[in-house]
Amino acid sequence: LSMSVMRDQLTLVVGPNGSGKSTLAKAVFNLASIFSGDVFFKERNVTKLTPEEKIIIGMRMVPQLSNVFENLTVRENLETIYFAIKSPKKNFEDSLDYVYSIFPVLRDRQYEKVRTLSGGERQMVALARVLVAKPELIIFDEPTAMLSPVLSNLILNKIREINESGVAVLLIEQNVKTALKISDYVYVLVSGRKVLEGGSERFINNFSMLEDAFFGKFPSSESR
């Protein structure tokens, strides 16, 4: 499986259930075993770095589950990741202002326990946690899972905003039609294999190509 994530584009990974999308995200972050191949970040081989070491060099991941500390306040959740990478304390308030400019509702809720927030607000906290220490790459593993269509659209638009601020984004998402609209490049996985790739417009204009791929009907190699 060969793929690239560029800073100036939002890269989307889609595929049917069980296609290996979440395993891909975990493997990149060394949370799942890699039996062959390498992971490079800014031309550096980071395959064997621990998740903690990858965080320090600017990589982040928002897992689908257990992505916030529910018994901590919003602000405390942001502090945990910020100080975990030993960033200067004097810069924390500036980083908070940056995050709150993207998620204004969190400024008003910053001293409230995360467990009291709505599902959409909790997901905003998860996004804010990885954003507060100015990452260079964020992997999002199905960030709209169990959210309503309205909240899903909100979260995906926020992810696009994060990407446009200069952060490389790898988005794994089941909400395919909406995700296509905010992405630039798409990889399609089926049974752990990359079966299609291309610009998002290609699949927006020919969505049946994706549907066929999900059911095991692949185009000829010349059209992939």
pLDDT tens digit sequence for 76-119: 999 988 877 766 677 888 889 999 999 999 999 999 999 999 98
Q: Which range of residues forms the domain containing residue 131?
A: 10-223
Q: What is the CATH number of the domain that holds 160?
A: 3.40.50.300
Strands (E), 63-221: 137-141, 168-172, 185-190, 193-199
Residue 26 lies in a domain: yes
Query: Is 3 within a domain?
Result: no
- Specify the higher pLDDT residue, 117 or 17: 117
- What is the spatial distance between Cα 101 and Cα 106, in angstroms, rounded to a whole number? 9
5 part of a folded domain: no
The encoded tokens of residue 100 equal 């709150």
Distance CA 172, CA 25 (A): 8
Q: What percent of the chain has pLDDT over 70?
A: 95
Q: What is the pTM of this model?
A: 0.88
Residue 20 lies in a domain: yes
For residue 2, tell me if it sits in a domain.
no
